[in-house]
Amino acid sequence: MASYLPEDVVVKILSRLPPKCLIRFKSVSKRWRALIGNPDFLSKNLLNHSILTQNPSRPLRLILFLATEKYVAGEQIHFFHSFRSYDSLRCASQAPMNFPPLTRHFEIVASCNGLLCLWDQKLDDIYQWNPATSSDLEALPRAPSRCHTRRRVPFYDFSVGFGFDSGSNDFKVVTLVDTGEDGWLEAEIYSLRSGSWRLLDMKVNFEMLSISQTAALDGVFLWYDDFRFGDCVADDRIVAFDFTDEEFRIMQSPDARLFCDYGQYTRTLTELKGSVAMMVFPYDDRKKNYLDIWVMLEFGVSESWTRLLIIQLPLHLERPLMFWKNGELFVENSEGQVVLYDLLAQTEMNLQFGGSRVTSKVVDCNFVQFEEMGSGVIPTLSCSSRLHYATQSNEIE
Amino acid sequence: MANNGENPSPDVGGKTVKLKADDGEIFEVEEAVAMELQTVKSFFDDDGVSYDTVVPLLNVSSTALAKVIQYCRRAVELRAKSGDDEGANEKAREEREGLEAELVREESDEGIKELILAANYLNIKDMLSFLCRAVGDRIKNKSVEYVRRFFVLENDFSPEEEERTRNEVAWAFEGVDAD
Protein backbone atom coordinates (compact mmCIF):
# COMPACT_ATOMS: atom_id res chain seq x y z
CA MET A 1 0.00 0.00 0.00
CA ALA A 2 1.47 3.33 -1.03
CA SER A 3 2.13 5.80 1.78
CA TYR A 4 0.54 9.19 1.78
CA LEU A 5 2.54 12.11 3.12
CA PRO A 6 0.83 14.80 5.19
CA GLU A 7 0.63 18.27 3.66
CA ASP A 8 3.04 19.97 6.03
CA VAL A 9 5.70 17.47 4.99
CA VAL A 10 4.84 18.03 1.33
CA VAL A 11 5.35 21.76 1.86
CA LYS A 12 8.74 21.05 3.45
CA ILE A 13 9.75 19.06 0.38
CA LEU A 14 8.44 21.60 -2.12
CA SER A 15 10.02 24.55 -0.33
CA ARG A 16 13.43 23.45 -1.49
CA LEU A 17 12.67 23.15 -5.16
CA PRO A 18 13.72 25.68 -7.82
CA PRO A 19 11.09 27.89 -9.53
CA LYS A 20 11.00 25.95 -12.82
CA CYS A 21 10.12 22.78 -10.94
CA LEU A 22 7.39 24.41 -8.88
CA ILE A 23 5.83 25.95 -11.95
CA ARG A 24 5.66 22.51 -13.55
CA PHE A 25 4.25 20.90 -10.41
CA LYS A 26 1.36 23.33 -10.33
CA SER A 27 -0.13 20.86 -12.79
CA VAL A 28 -0.05 18.00 -10.27
CA SER A 29 -3.34 18.90 -8.63
CA LYS A 30 -5.51 21.86 -7.74
CA ARG A 31 -4.28 21.75 -4.16
CA TRP A 32 -0.67 21.93 -5.29
CA ARG A 33 -1.51 24.76 -7.63
CA ALA A 34 -2.91 26.68 -4.68
CA LEU A 35 0.05 25.83 -2.44
CA ILE A 36 2.64 26.84 -5.01
CA GLY A 37 0.91 30.03 -6.06
CA ASN A 38 1.66 32.69 -8.65
CA PRO A 39 4.91 34.49 -9.22
CA ASP A 40 4.77 37.96 -7.82
CA PHE A 41 6.85 39.82 -5.33
CA LEU A 42 4.05 40.48 -2.94
CA SER A 43 2.45 37.11 -2.16
CA LYS A 44 3.96 34.76 0.36
CA ASN A 45 3.78 31.42 -1.35
CA LEU A 46 6.14 28.59 -2.25
CA LEU A 47 6.92 29.96 -5.70
CA ASN A 48 7.88 33.45 -4.58
CA HIS A 49 9.84 32.02 -1.70
CA SER A 50 11.76 29.92 -4.20
CA ILE A 51 12.41 32.83 -6.56
CA LEU A 52 13.59 35.12 -3.79
CA THR A 53 15.71 32.67 -1.81
CA GLN A 54 17.39 30.67 -4.55
CA ASN A 55 20.89 31.86 -4.01
CA PRO A 56 21.61 32.83 -0.44
CA SER A 57 24.27 35.46 -0.04
CA ARG A 58 27.73 34.52 1.02
CA PRO A 59 29.90 36.13 3.63
CA LEU A 60 32.58 38.76 2.96
CA ARG A 61 30.35 40.62 0.61
CA LEU A 62 30.56 44.33 0.05
CA ILE A 63 28.64 46.77 -2.07
CA LEU A 64 30.40 49.62 -3.77
CA PHE A 65 28.39 52.78 -4.26
CA LEU A 66 29.70 55.15 -6.89
CA ALA A 67 28.61 58.48 -8.17
CA THR A 68 30.20 61.34 -10.01
CA GLU A 69 30.56 64.63 -8.23
CA LYS A 70 28.07 67.33 -8.82
CA TYR A 71 29.20 68.97 -11.99
CA VAL A 72 31.13 72.19 -11.67
CA ALA A 73 31.79 74.00 -14.93
CA GLY A 74 35.27 73.43 -16.27
CA GLU A 75 36.33 71.03 -13.52
CA GLN A 76 37.48 67.47 -14.12
CA ILE A 77 34.69 65.23 -12.91
CA HIS A 78 35.60 62.45 -10.53
CA PHE A 79 33.92 59.50 -8.97
CA PHE A 80 33.47 59.31 -5.27
CA HIS A 81 32.58 56.16 -3.50
CA SER A 82 31.46 54.26 -0.45
CA PHE A 83 32.16 50.63 0.37
CA ARG A 84 29.40 49.18 2.50
CA SER A 85 28.72 45.84 4.06
CA TYR A 86 26.21 43.86 2.02
CA ASP A 87 24.44 42.74 5.16
CA SER A 88 24.08 45.95 7.09
CA LEU A 89 24.82 48.65 4.50
CA ARG A 90 27.06 50.28 7.06
CA CYS A 91 30.36 51.62 5.85
CA ALA A 92 32.99 48.92 5.68
CA SER A 93 35.61 49.97 8.16
CA GLN A 94 37.90 47.00 8.59
CA ALA A 95 40.10 46.59 5.54
CA PRO A 96 40.62 49.97 3.92
CA MET A 97 39.35 49.68 0.41
CA ASN A 98 41.50 51.47 -2.07
CA PHE A 99 40.01 53.68 -4.69
CA PRO A 100 41.78 54.79 -7.83
CA PRO A 101 41.45 58.27 -9.36
CA LEU A 102 38.59 57.50 -11.72
CA THR A 103 37.32 60.17 -14.05
CA ARG A 104 34.08 60.80 -15.86
CA HIS A 105 34.80 58.46 -18.75
CA PHE A 106 35.22 55.31 -16.74
CA GLU A 107 32.59 52.64 -16.86
CA ILE A 108 32.62 49.77 -14.37
CA VAL A 109 32.20 46.80 -16.67
CA ALA A 110 31.62 44.24 -13.94
CA SER A 111 32.79 43.01 -10.57
CA CYS A 112 33.79 39.40 -10.21
CA ASN A 113 35.16 37.73 -7.08
CA GLY A 114 36.66 40.92 -5.82
CA LEU A 115 38.19 41.93 -9.12
CA LEU A 116 36.71 44.84 -11.01
CA CYS A 117 37.06 45.54 -14.69
CA LEU A 118 36.94 49.15 -15.82
CA TRP A 119 36.74 50.71 -19.23
CA ASP A 120 37.92 54.16 -20.07
CA GLN A 121 35.53 54.97 -22.86
CA LYS A 122 37.40 57.99 -24.08
CA LEU A 123 40.58 56.15 -24.88
CA ASP A 124 39.19 52.60 -24.98
CA ASP A 125 41.61 51.43 -22.36
CA ILE A 126 40.60 48.51 -20.21
CA TYR A 127 41.76 48.05 -16.64
CA GLN A 128 41.51 45.58 -13.81
CA TRP A 129 41.35 46.71 -10.22
CA ASN A 130 41.47 44.84 -6.96
CA PRO A 131 40.23 47.18 -4.19
CA ALA A 132 41.48 44.90 -1.43
CA THR A 133 45.08 45.14 -2.53
CA SER A 134 45.65 48.34 -4.41
CA SER A 135 44.35 51.67 -5.55
CA ASP A 136 46.19 51.31 -8.82
CA LEU A 137 44.42 50.37 -11.96
CA GLU A 138 46.27 47.72 -13.87
CA ALA A 139 46.04 48.35 -17.59
CA LEU A 140 45.41 45.44 -19.89
CA PRO A 141 47.31 45.34 -23.16
CA ARG A 142 45.35 47.15 -25.80
CA ALA A 143 42.63 45.10 -27.52
CA PRO A 144 43.69 44.27 -31.10
CA SER A 145 40.68 46.03 -32.61
CA ARG A 146 41.64 49.19 -30.75
CA CYS A 147 45.09 49.21 -32.22
CA HIS A 148 43.81 50.85 -35.36
CA THR A 149 44.12 54.57 -35.28
CA ARG A 150 40.74 55.44 -36.76
CA ARG A 151 38.56 57.68 -34.65
CA ARG A 152 35.31 56.10 -33.77
CA VAL A 153 31.97 57.44 -32.76
CA PRO A 154 31.85 56.91 -28.99
CA PHE A 155 30.12 53.79 -27.71
CA TYR A 156 28.68 52.76 -31.05
CA ASP A 157 31.07 50.12 -32.23
CA PHE A 158 32.84 48.67 -29.21
CA SER A 159 31.73 47.18 -25.95
CA VAL A 160 33.45 45.37 -23.12
CA GLY A 161 32.35 42.42 -21.00
CA PHE A 162 34.03 40.75 -18.03
CA GLY A 163 33.54 37.54 -16.13
CA PHE A 164 34.96 34.39 -14.66
CA ASP A 165 35.59 31.07 -16.34
CA SER A 166 35.05 28.52 -13.60
CA GLY A 167 36.33 25.74 -15.85
CA SER A 168 39.83 27.10 -16.12
CA ASN A 169 39.72 29.30 -13.01
CA ASP A 170 40.48 32.37 -15.09
CA PHE A 171 39.14 35.89 -15.43
CA LYS A 172 38.36 36.94 -18.96
CA VAL A 173 37.53 40.13 -20.77
CA VAL A 174 35.48 39.95 -23.95
CA THR A 175 34.89 42.74 -26.42
CA LEU A 176 32.22 43.14 -29.05
CA VAL A 177 33.44 44.95 -32.11
CA ASP A 178 31.17 46.21 -34.85
CA THR A 179 32.65 45.17 -38.17
CA GLY A 180 30.51 47.76 -39.91
CA GLU A 181 28.87 45.09 -42.04
CA ASP A 182 25.15 44.85 -41.43
CA GLY A 183 25.21 44.36 -37.69
CA TRP A 184 27.84 41.62 -37.64
CA LEU A 185 30.04 41.78 -34.57
CA GLU A 186 33.36 40.18 -33.85
CA ALA A 187 34.65 39.26 -30.46
CA GLU A 188 38.07 39.38 -28.89
CA ILE A 189 38.88 37.67 -25.67
CA TYR A 190 41.56 38.36 -23.10
CA SER A 191 42.57 35.86 -20.46
CA LEU A 192 44.17 37.15 -17.29
CA ARG A 193 46.13 33.95 -16.91
CA SER A 194 47.67 34.10 -20.36
CA GLY A 195 47.96 37.88 -20.43
CA SER A 196 47.05 37.99 -24.11
CA TRP A 197 44.22 38.63 -26.53
CA ARG A 198 42.83 36.39 -29.23
CA LEU A 199 40.09 36.72 -31.77
CA LEU A 200 37.10 34.42 -31.39
CA ASP A 201 35.99 32.38 -34.38
CA MET A 202 32.36 33.10 -33.98
CA LYS A 203 30.57 36.20 -35.16
CA VAL A 204 27.25 37.33 -33.82
CA ASN A 205 24.66 39.51 -35.46
CA PHE A 206 23.28 42.13 -33.19
CA GLU A 207 22.65 45.80 -33.74
CA MET A 208 24.83 47.70 -31.36
CA LEU A 209 23.76 51.22 -32.11
CA SER A 210 23.92 52.77 -28.71
CA ILE A 211 25.19 52.21 -25.23
CA SER A 212 24.03 48.73 -24.49
CA GLN A 213 22.56 47.89 -21.15
CA THR A 214 24.76 45.25 -19.65
CA ALA A 215 24.63 42.85 -16.77
CA ALA A 216 26.94 40.18 -15.44
CA LEU A 217 26.08 37.05 -13.53
CA ASP A 218 27.47 33.62 -12.84
CA GLY A 219 30.13 33.33 -15.54
CA VAL A 220 28.00 35.06 -18.15
CA PHE A 221 27.93 38.62 -19.47
CA LEU A 222 24.87 40.10 -21.13
CA TRP A 223 24.26 42.96 -23.54
CA TYR A 224 20.91 44.44 -24.30
CA ASP A 225 20.24 46.97 -26.98
CA ASP A 226 18.38 49.69 -25.18
CA PHE A 227 18.19 51.74 -28.34
CA ARG A 228 14.46 51.96 -28.62
CA PHE A 229 13.03 54.25 -26.03
CA GLY A 230 9.47 53.12 -26.12
CA ASP A 231 9.02 51.52 -29.50
CA CYS A 232 6.62 48.64 -29.33
CA VAL A 233 8.68 46.13 -31.22
CA ALA A 234 8.50 42.48 -30.38
CA ASP A 235 12.01 41.52 -31.32
CA ASP A 236 14.14 42.97 -28.54
CA ARG A 237 17.12 40.75 -28.02
CA ILE A 238 19.72 40.04 -25.40
CA VAL A 239 23.17 38.73 -26.26
CA ALA A 240 24.83 36.54 -23.65
CA PHE A 241 28.44 35.42 -23.59
CA ASP A 242 29.47 32.41 -21.54
CA PHE A 243 33.06 32.66 -20.34
CA THR A 244 33.52 28.93 -19.90
CA ASP A 245 32.18 27.81 -23.30
CA GLU A 246 33.29 31.05 -24.94
CA GLU A 247 30.04 31.08 -26.83
CA PHE A 248 27.42 33.64 -27.62
CA ARG A 249 23.75 33.07 -27.26
CA ILE A 250 20.88 35.29 -28.31
CA MET A 251 17.75 35.43 -26.20
CA GLN A 252 14.54 37.34 -26.43
CA SER A 253 13.51 39.83 -23.80
CA PRO A 254 9.91 40.01 -22.61
CA ASP A 255 7.62 40.91 -25.47
CA ALA A 256 7.85 44.68 -25.76
CA ARG A 257 4.28 44.88 -27.01
CA LEU A 258 3.31 44.46 -23.38
CA PHE A 259 4.80 47.89 -22.72
CA CYS A 260 2.92 49.75 -25.45
CA ASP A 261 0.91 51.75 -22.97
CA TYR A 262 3.96 52.96 -21.19
CA GLY A 263 4.85 55.85 -23.43
CA GLN A 264 8.55 56.55 -23.38
CA TYR A 265 10.16 53.82 -21.36
CA THR A 266 13.56 52.31 -20.85
CA ARG A 267 14.93 49.09 -19.41
CA THR A 268 17.66 47.98 -17.10
CA LEU A 269 19.13 44.51 -17.01
CA THR A 270 20.10 43.30 -13.60
CA GLU A 271 20.26 40.23 -11.43
CA LEU A 272 17.78 38.83 -8.95
CA LYS A 273 19.03 35.91 -6.88
CA GLY A 274 21.14 34.52 -9.67
CA SER A 275 18.58 35.01 -12.43
CA VAL A 276 18.56 37.64 -15.13
CA ALA A 277 16.01 40.32 -14.33
CA MET A 278 14.73 43.23 -16.33
CA MET A 279 13.21 46.41 -14.99
CA VAL A 280 11.05 48.57 -17.22
CA PHE A 281 10.37 52.14 -16.15
CA PRO A 282 9.62 55.55 -17.65
CA TYR A 283 12.18 57.60 -19.44
CA ASP A 284 11.78 61.31 -18.76
CA ASP A 285 8.00 61.34 -18.55
CA ARG A 286 7.34 61.72 -14.85
CA LYS A 287 3.57 61.95 -14.86
CA LYS A 288 3.40 58.36 -13.79
CA ASN A 289 6.19 56.31 -12.27
CA TYR A 290 5.62 52.61 -12.70
CA LEU A 291 8.20 49.89 -12.29
CA ASP A 292 7.66 46.65 -14.15
CA ILE A 293 9.90 43.78 -12.98
CA TRP A 294 10.55 40.61 -14.97
CA VAL A 295 12.78 37.66 -14.28
CA MET A 296 14.04 34.94 -16.59
CA LEU A 297 13.39 31.89 -14.45
CA GLU A 298 15.47 29.61 -16.62
CA PHE A 299 18.59 31.06 -18.14
CA GLY A 300 18.54 31.12 -21.93
CA VAL A 301 14.90 30.13 -22.18
CA SER A 302 13.11 33.19 -23.49
CA GLU A 303 9.68 31.70 -22.74
CA SER A 304 10.58 31.59 -19.06
CA TRP A 305 10.44 35.38 -18.70
CA THR A 306 7.92 35.88 -15.91
CA ARG A 307 6.51 39.15 -14.67
CA LEU A 308 7.03 39.50 -10.94
CA LEU A 309 5.53 42.86 -10.22
CA ILE A 310 4.17 46.11 -11.59
CA ILE A 311 4.24 48.79 -8.96
CA GLN A 312 3.80 52.53 -8.77
CA LEU A 313 6.86 54.16 -7.30
CA PRO A 314 6.85 57.58 -5.67
CA LEU A 315 7.60 60.14 -8.36
CA HIS A 316 10.99 61.14 -6.97
CA LEU A 317 12.39 57.61 -7.24
CA GLU A 318 13.62 57.75 -10.79
CA ARG A 319 16.17 55.08 -11.62
CA PRO A 320 16.16 51.51 -10.25
CA LEU A 321 19.70 50.25 -9.77
CA MET A 322 20.05 46.88 -8.08
CA PHE A 323 18.20 44.42 -5.88
CA TRP A 324 19.26 43.88 -2.30
CA LYS A 325 18.91 40.99 0.12
CA ASN A 326 15.20 40.33 0.41
CA GLY A 327 14.09 41.90 -2.80
CA GLU A 328 14.48 45.48 -1.68
CA LEU A 329 15.66 47.80 -4.39
CA PHE A 330 18.33 50.48 -4.59
CA VAL A 331 16.88 53.39 -6.54
CA GLU A 332 18.34 56.76 -7.47
CA ASN A 333 16.08 59.67 -6.67
CA SER A 334 15.62 62.99 -8.44
CA GLU A 335 18.40 64.55 -6.34
CA GLY A 336 20.92 61.92 -7.43
CA GLN A 337 20.85 60.14 -4.09
CA VAL A 338 20.66 56.41 -3.55
CA VAL A 339 17.55 55.24 -1.73
CA LEU A 340 16.71 51.76 -0.50
CA TYR A 341 13.11 50.97 -1.38
CA ASP A 342 11.17 48.12 0.19
CA LEU A 343 8.85 46.83 -2.53
CA LEU A 344 6.57 45.02 -0.13
CA ALA A 345 6.25 47.60 2.61
CA GLN A 346 6.55 50.45 0.11
CA THR A 347 8.85 52.34 2.44
CA GLU A 348 12.11 54.01 1.62
CA MET A 349 15.37 54.82 3.33
CA ASN A 350 17.78 57.41 2.00
CA LEU A 351 21.32 56.02 2.19
CA GLN A 352 22.85 59.48 2.24
CA PHE A 353 25.01 58.84 -0.75
CA GLY A 354 24.81 60.48 -4.13
CA GLY A 355 26.20 62.82 -6.68
CA SER A 356 25.09 64.28 -9.93
CA ARG A 357 21.77 63.02 -11.08
CA VAL A 358 21.70 59.89 -13.28
CA THR A 359 25.24 58.90 -12.37
CA SER A 360 24.85 56.54 -9.41
CA LYS A 361 26.09 53.01 -9.76
CA VAL A 362 25.89 50.16 -7.30
CA VAL A 363 28.36 47.33 -7.69
CA ASP A 364 28.22 44.07 -5.82
CA CYS A 365 31.77 43.09 -4.88
CA ASN A 366 32.19 39.50 -3.78
CA PHE A 367 35.44 39.00 -1.98
CA VAL A 368 36.77 35.55 -1.36
CA GLN A 369 40.08 34.42 -0.02
CA PHE A 370 42.96 35.44 -2.15
CA GLU A 371 45.79 33.10 -2.95
CA GLU A 372 48.78 33.32 -5.18
CA MET A 373 48.23 31.33 -8.34
CA GLY A 374 51.00 31.18 -10.87
CA SER A 375 51.91 34.69 -11.96
CA GLY A 376 50.45 37.44 -9.91
CA VAL A 377 47.60 37.31 -7.47
CA ILE A 378 44.35 35.92 -8.75
CA PRO A 379 41.37 35.55 -6.44
CA THR A 380 40.29 31.94 -6.12
CA LEU A 381 36.76 30.79 -6.52
CA SER A 382 35.01 28.91 -3.78
CA CYS A 383 31.58 29.20 -5.35
CA SER A 384 30.29 30.72 -8.56
CA SER A 385 30.08 34.46 -8.83
CA ARG A 386 27.01 36.60 -8.52
CA LEU A 387 27.41 39.95 -10.13
CA HIS A 388 25.52 42.99 -11.16
CA TYR A 389 26.11 46.13 -13.09
CA ALA A 390 23.62 48.47 -14.59
CA THR A 391 23.95 52.07 -15.49
CA GLN A 392 22.51 54.67 -17.70
CA SER A 393 24.64 57.70 -18.14
CA ASN A 394 23.74 61.01 -19.67
CA GLU A 395 26.27 63.10 -21.43
CA ILE A 396 26.62 66.22 -19.34
CA GLU A 397 29.41 67.96 -21.18
CA MET B 1 10.89 -9.64 24.67
CA ALA B 2 14.08 -10.55 22.81
CA ASN B 3 16.21 -7.90 21.25
CA ASN B 4 16.43 -7.61 17.48
CA GLY B 5 19.74 -8.99 16.17
CA GLU B 6 20.50 -5.63 14.53
CA ASN B 7 20.14 -3.94 17.84
CA PRO B 8 22.65 -5.50 20.23
CA SER B 9 22.29 -4.85 23.92
CA PRO B 10 23.91 -1.60 24.93
CA ASP B 11 26.73 -1.60 27.48
CA VAL B 12 25.77 -1.89 31.07
CA GLY B 13 26.22 1.38 32.86
CA GLY B 14 24.14 3.62 30.59
CA LYS B 15 20.43 4.04 31.04
CA THR B 16 18.34 2.50 28.33
CA VAL B 17 14.85 2.97 27.06
CA LYS B 18 12.54 0.42 25.45
CA LEU B 19 10.71 1.35 22.25
CA LYS B 20 7.95 -0.78 20.78
CA ALA B 21 7.28 -0.72 17.03
CA ASP B 22 3.87 -1.26 15.41
CA ASP B 23 4.36 -5.03 15.13
CA GLY B 24 5.26 -5.38 18.81
CA GLU B 25 9.01 -5.69 18.32
CA ILE B 26 10.93 -4.03 21.14
CA PHE B 27 14.13 -2.04 20.68
CA GLU B 28 16.33 -1.30 23.68
CA VAL B 29 18.17 1.95 23.07
CA GLU B 30 20.63 4.12 24.97
CA GLU B 31 18.89 7.03 26.64
CA ALA B 32 20.86 9.67 24.72
CA VAL B 33 19.84 8.13 21.42
CA ALA B 34 16.19 7.71 22.46
CA MET B 35 16.00 11.39 23.38
CA GLU B 36 16.82 12.34 19.78
CA LEU B 37 13.26 11.29 19.11
CA GLN B 38 11.36 14.28 20.45
CA THR B 39 8.19 12.24 20.67
CA VAL B 40 9.94 9.84 23.04
CA LYS B 41 11.44 12.73 24.99
CA SER B 42 7.97 14.25 25.46
CA PHE B 43 6.65 10.89 26.55
CA PHE B 44 9.12 10.85 29.46
CA ASP B 45 8.82 14.54 30.23
CA ASP B 46 5.37 13.85 31.58
CA ASP B 47 5.41 13.59 35.34
CA GLY B 48 5.44 10.17 36.83
CA VAL B 49 6.48 8.20 33.77
CA SER B 50 9.26 5.86 34.76
CA TYR B 51 12.11 5.09 32.42
CA ASP B 52 11.17 1.45 32.59
CA THR B 53 7.98 2.11 30.70
CA VAL B 54 7.95 0.72 27.18
CA VAL B 55 7.20 3.50 24.73
CA PRO B 56 4.54 2.43 22.23
CA LEU B 57 5.30 3.77 18.76
CA LEU B 58 2.19 2.55 17.01
CA ASN B 59 2.81 4.41 13.76
CA VAL B 60 6.32 3.20 13.12
CA SER B 61 7.24 -0.11 11.49
CA SER B 62 10.10 -2.11 12.94
CA THR B 63 12.12 -1.77 9.73
CA ALA B 64 11.84 1.99 9.84
CA LEU B 65 12.49 2.14 13.58
CA ALA B 66 15.64 0.07 13.22
CA LYS B 67 16.98 2.49 10.60
CA VAL B 68 15.99 5.52 12.65
CA ILE B 69 17.77 4.17 15.70
CA GLN B 70 20.87 3.35 13.69
CA TYR B 71 20.91 6.87 12.25
CA CYS B 72 20.35 8.58 15.59
CA ARG B 73 23.02 6.51 17.27
CA ARG B 74 25.58 7.59 14.66
CA ALA B 75 24.34 11.18 14.81
CA VAL B 76 24.85 11.31 18.57
CA GLU B 77 28.36 9.87 18.20
CA LEU B 78 29.24 12.45 15.55
CA ARG B 79 27.90 15.32 17.61
CA ALA B 80 30.07 14.23 20.51
CA LYS B 81 33.11 14.39 18.22
CA SER B 82 32.64 17.98 17.12
CA GLY B 83 33.51 20.89 19.36
CA ASP B 84 35.52 24.05 19.05
CA ASP B 85 37.97 22.64 16.57
CA GLU B 86 36.95 23.74 13.08
CA GLY B 87 38.78 20.85 11.49
CA ALA B 88 36.98 18.32 13.66
CA ASN B 89 33.66 20.03 12.97
CA GLU B 90 34.26 19.91 9.26
CA LYS B 91 35.10 16.22 9.42
CA ALA B 92 32.05 15.49 11.55
CA ARG B 93 29.87 17.39 9.11
CA GLU B 94 31.22 15.41 6.18
CA GLU B 95 30.67 12.17 8.03
CA ARG B 96 27.11 13.14 8.83
CA GLU B 97 26.45 13.96 5.19
CA GLY B 98 27.89 10.56 4.28
CA LEU B 99 25.60 8.95 6.82
CA GLU B 100 22.57 10.73 5.37
CA ALA B 101 23.49 9.74 1.83
CA GLU B 102 23.98 6.16 2.95
CA LEU B 103 20.55 6.08 4.53
CA VAL B 104 18.69 7.11 1.40
CA ARG B 105 20.91 5.62 -1.25
CA GLU B 106 19.36 2.19 -1.51
CA GLU B 107 15.87 3.20 -0.48
CA SER B 108 12.93 2.79 -2.80
CA ASP B 109 10.41 5.62 -3.07
CA GLU B 110 8.14 3.72 -0.71
CA GLY B 111 10.99 3.14 1.73
CA ILE B 112 11.98 6.77 1.81
CA LYS B 113 8.38 7.80 2.42
CA GLU B 114 8.19 5.36 5.31
CA LEU B 115 11.29 6.93 6.81
CA ILE B 116 9.84 10.40 6.40
CA LEU B 117 6.63 9.36 8.13
CA ALA B 118 8.66 7.83 10.94
CA ALA B 119 10.89 10.90 11.31
CA ASN B 120 7.82 13.12 11.23
CA TYR B 121 5.91 11.07 13.81
CA LEU B 122 8.93 10.70 16.04
CA ASN B 123 9.72 14.40 15.59
CA ILE B 124 13.40 14.12 14.64
CA LYS B 125 14.05 17.51 13.12
CA ASP B 126 17.43 16.95 11.43
CA MET B 127 16.46 13.62 10.00
CA LEU B 128 13.18 14.94 8.60
CA SER B 129 15.05 17.87 7.12
CA PHE B 130 17.56 15.87 5.17
CA LEU B 131 14.96 13.30 4.10
CA CYS B 132 12.83 16.11 2.64
CA ARG B 133 15.88 17.44 0.86
CA ALA B 134 16.61 13.95 -0.51
CA VAL B 135 13.06 13.57 -1.83
CA GLY B 136 13.29 17.05 -3.35
CA ASP B 137 16.41 15.96 -5.22
CA ARG B 138 14.68 12.80 -6.36
CA ILE B 139 11.63 14.52 -7.82
CA LYS B 140 13.30 17.69 -9.10
CA ASN B 141 13.54 16.55 -12.71
CA LYS B 142 10.57 14.26 -12.74
CA SER B 143 7.34 14.55 -14.65
CA VAL B 144 4.00 15.58 -13.24
CA GLU B 145 2.76 11.98 -13.58
CA TYR B 146 5.70 10.63 -11.60
CA VAL B 147 5.07 13.13 -8.84
CA ARG B 148 1.37 12.22 -8.70
CA ARG B 149 2.29 8.54 -8.28
CA PHE B 150 4.90 9.32 -5.67
CA PHE B 151 2.61 11.45 -3.52
CA VAL B 152 -0.50 9.37 -4.31
CA LEU B 153 -2.44 12.31 -5.70
CA GLU B 154 -5.43 12.44 -8.00
CA ASN B 155 -5.37 14.63 -11.07
CA ASP B 156 -8.41 16.82 -10.50
CA PHE B 157 -7.88 19.02 -13.55
CA SER B 158 -10.00 18.69 -16.63
CA PRO B 159 -8.07 17.66 -19.75
CA GLU B 160 -8.65 21.11 -21.25
CA GLU B 161 -7.33 22.88 -18.16
CA GLU B 162 -4.26 20.70 -18.05
CA GLU B 163 -3.56 21.20 -21.75
CA ARG B 164 -3.90 24.97 -21.38
CA THR B 165 -1.49 25.13 -18.45
CA ARG B 166 1.09 22.99 -20.19
CA ASN B 167 1.02 25.27 -23.21
CA GLU B 168 1.30 28.43 -21.12
CA VAL B 169 4.43 27.27 -19.38
CA ALA B 170 5.77 24.76 -21.90
CA TRP B 171 9.34 25.77 -21.02
CA ALA B 172 8.92 24.37 -17.52
CA PHE B 173 8.19 20.94 -19.00
CA GLU B 174 11.44 20.81 -20.96
CA GLY B 175 14.32 18.67 -19.81
CA VAL B 176 12.21 16.38 -17.66
CA ASP B 177 13.34 12.79 -17.04
CA ALA B 178 11.42 10.14 -18.94
CA ASP B 179 9.21 8.11 -16.63
The pLDDT tens digits for B35-50 are 899 999 888 887 778 8
Residue of B nearest to A296 (CA): B171
Average pLDDT estimate for A345-368:
83
**Cβ–Cβ contact B112 with A under 8 A:** no
The sign of the CA dihedral B115, B118, B119, B120 is positive
More confident site: A211 or B25: B25
**Residue B110 burial (CB count, 10 A):** 12
Quick check: A384 pLDDT over 80?
A: no
8 Å CB contact of B169 and A21: no
Average pLDDT estimate for A323-351:
90
Residue of A nearest to B161 (CA): A27
The pLDDT value recorded for residue A257 is 79
8 Å CB contact of B133 and A29: no
The sign of the CA dihedral B160, B161, B162, B166 is positive
Collect all residues with Cβ–Cβ distance below 8 Å to B74 and sequence separation of at least 6: B99
Give the containing element (helix H, strand E) for B97. Answer: helix B86-105
The sign of the CA dihedral A191, A195, A197, A200 is negative
The pLDDT value recorded for residue B29 is 92
Q: Encode pLDDT of A131-153 as tens digits.
A: 877 778 899 999 888 876 454 55
Least Cα separation, residue A2 to chain B (angstroms): 7
Phi-psi region of A85 (alpha: psi -120 to 50; beta: other; left: phi over 0): beta
The answer to whether B115 touches B64, Cβ cutoff 8 Å, is yes
8 Å CB contact of B151 and A4: yes
The C-alpha atoms of residue A190 and residue A167 are separated, in whole angstroms, by 15
B133 vs A contacts (CB less than 8 Å): 16
Q: For residue A192, which of A241, A144, A141 has the smallest C-alpha distance? A: A141
According to DSSP, the β-strands at A237-242 and A247-252 are antiparallel
A3 vs B contacts (CB less than 8 Å): 110, 113-114, 117, 152
Collect all residues with Cβ–Cβ distance below 8 Å to B139 and sequence separation of at least 6: A13, A17, A21, B146, B147, B150
The C-alpha atoms of residue A13 and residue A202 are separated, in whole angstroms, by 43
**Nearest Cβ partner of A26 from B140, B154, B165?**
B165
Using a pLDDT cut of 90, give the percent of chain A over it.
35
8 Å CB contact of A20 and B172: yes
Q: Can you give A60-84 as a three-state secondary structure string?
A: CEEEEEEEECCCCCCCCCEEEEEEE
pTM attached to this predicted model? 0.80
**Cβ–Cβ contact A149 with B under 8 A:** no
